[in-house]
Amino acid sequence: MNQHIQKIAELDRVIHEPGRLMIVALLFAVERSDFLYLQHETGMNKGTLSSHLSRLEEAGYVEVVKTYRGKIPQTLLSLTAKGREAFVEYRRKLKEAL
């Protein structure tokens, strides 16, 4: 098999999904953000965004913290160290593959 094609097969499938890629890229550039920011930036509905975040949380890439802003519930999200490493690696492999 061609080496470039092999590289594509090695891409992290958790991150490679377009919706999750958007989330991880947005979180990579910040310390943390809330659910509303990700919803606004990605244009996803709450259900879809929650489902992607659950998948990323399961993989250990995203940390979810439920808190309050005054009396309003707020969900804060950040990339874990493992998530940051995985995204850096994903970009490296993608660059090699393209």
Please give the residue ranges that form the binding site for another protein (CB under 8 A): 21-22, 25-26, 28-41, 46, 50, 69, 72-76, 91, 94-95, 98
Provide the minimum distance between the beta carbon of 2 and another protein in the complex, in angstroms, as a whole number: 19
Provide the minimum distance between the beta carbon of 66 and another protein in the complex, in angstroms, as a whole number: 8
Contacts (Cβ under 8 Å, ≥6 apart) of 23: 38, 42, 49, 52, 53, 56, 62
Provide the minimum distance between the beta carbon of 75 and another protein in the complex, in angstroms, as a whole number: 5
Amino acid at 49: L
Amino acid at 97: A
